[in-house]
A and B are shown apart, each in its own frame.
Chain A
C-alpha cells in the first residue's frame, strides 16, 4: 500500500483561472494536516511547500498527484509571463492521478461564462469532452462543486493514499460522492413528497423545489449527506441548491423554478414525467395539518 511506503505520493496543486475558492474551502477541513501528511506537498498556492512558483514554471517539480484548480484556457492566460496551459500539460503528462478540483476546473464553471468559446474545464467543456480528454482520461478524477466540499476532496485523497480504487461515473466523478442527488438527506423531503412549498427563504418548513428554484432533485452531490462544516447545508438552512456541481452551472435565475403552467419544466432526476405528475396530482389532494403550520406552533 502506498500509505505504508516510505515514499509518499508527491502532491502538486496548480491553479489556472480561479477565485481561490477551492483552496480556501479545503483549508477549512478540520483534519487538513493529517490528510496532507499522507503526501509530500511539493507545491501549493498558499501552503508552505518545497518548491517555488519559479520551480513549478520551469517544470522542475516532481508530481504523482496533480490537483488542478480553476478553469482552463488553451492560449492567452499567463502567469509570470508563461502560458498556464503549457505548465499544466507538463505535470499532467507525468502525474499518476489528475484531480479537477471544483466546477471551474471540471466543466468551466463561472469563468466559462466570461468566454464560453475559449474557456472550459481541463478535460470537459460543460458535458463535452475537450481535446485533452483522450490524453488524460485514464487518470482523471472530477470533483465538481463551487467550491469543492473539503470532505469530498479528503475522501478522494485518502482513497488514493490507501491505494484503493475509486469507482467513477461517466464524467469521472466518484460514485460514492456523486451517485446521490443533493435531494438525498434533505431535511425537507417530507415537504417535497407532499408538495408543500416554502413561501420564503430561511424558514424551516416547506420544500424549495416548487417555487424557490432548488435544484437538489437533479443535482448530483452529497451536500445533505456529508454536511458543510459538519453542520448544515444550503437547503437545510432554507436556501435553494444552485446545482453548483453540474456541468450546466451556473444556470440563469437561481431563485426561480421554471414552470410550464405550474408544472416544473425539469423533472427530478430519472423520474418519468407522467409518473411524477400523477403522483403530484394525488398528493396535492391531501391537506396535512402538520405540514401547513410552523414547526414551533404545531402541538402547542
Chain B
C-alpha cells in the first residue's frame, strides 16, 4: 500500500526541463514558506505576552525594508518568468524532423492516426527518441490532450487546429488523459501512450500488414472527393496546383490588394471548408465548400497528402 508514486515519471525531453524549473520554484516556495513560518514562530515565542524583552519603539514603517521586499520578489519573479517562458516557447517549435500524428477528440474517445496510415483509438504508439508532433482538433466540445509523463497538455478545440510536440526518452506505457471537462464520461476519456524501441515500433506498424499510409489514404480521398479533377496536372479547369504549396506563402486576392498567407494546416482546412474566404490571386472563386461532407479524420488525411507533395515539385 505504501508504494504509491509521489513524482511522475520523466519520459520526454521536456519533462526533465519542466521538472528542473519546478524544483527551483519548489525551492523558492520552501524558502519563503519556512522563512515566514520560522519568523512567526520566533516572534510568537520571543514576544509572547509576559516575556521580558525589549519592546520599545516598535517600528511602524521602513522604507528600506519595504523596498527590499518589493525588489526581491520582483527579481525572483523575473527569473521564473524568463525561465518558464523560454521552455514554453520551445513547446511551440516542433523540430523539423518531427513525425506528424493526427488527433481527433470526441465525446469520449481519442482517435489518432499515424503518417504511415495506421489509426488507433485511445492508444498511441511512438518510437523512442523520435520527435512527434500532434495536429489536433475536436468534433464536438473542447477537450484537452494531456500526457503527464511528458509534462505536456493542449486544449483541443472544435473548428480549429492546435498542435503539440514531444520527444519520448524512455520506453514504457504512460497515461493519456482528457484534462478539459467534456461531459458525462470525461473521466474515462483516457488512453495509453506506448513508447517503443524503434524496431518494435516498425514491427508494430506493419503488424496489421502494410496498409496505405495516411498520405496515401488522403490521396484516395483527394480523388474520391473530386479534388483531383481540378487541382491535378493538365486539367482545363482553372485551379491552383497543390504540389509544393504546403508551408509556402500563397498570394491571396483581398479586394484590389494581394496579401500573403502561409499554406499551413489551417489554410488548407479553411480552403476545403470555406473556399471563398481566401482565394489564391489570379483564380476564380469556383470551388464548392466541403463543409459537413468530409469528416475531421478525413480532413487530416487530405492535409497529410497535400503535405506529402510539398517537396515534389521543388525536387522536379
A, B assembled together: no
Please report B residues at the A interface, Cβ cutoff 8 Å: none
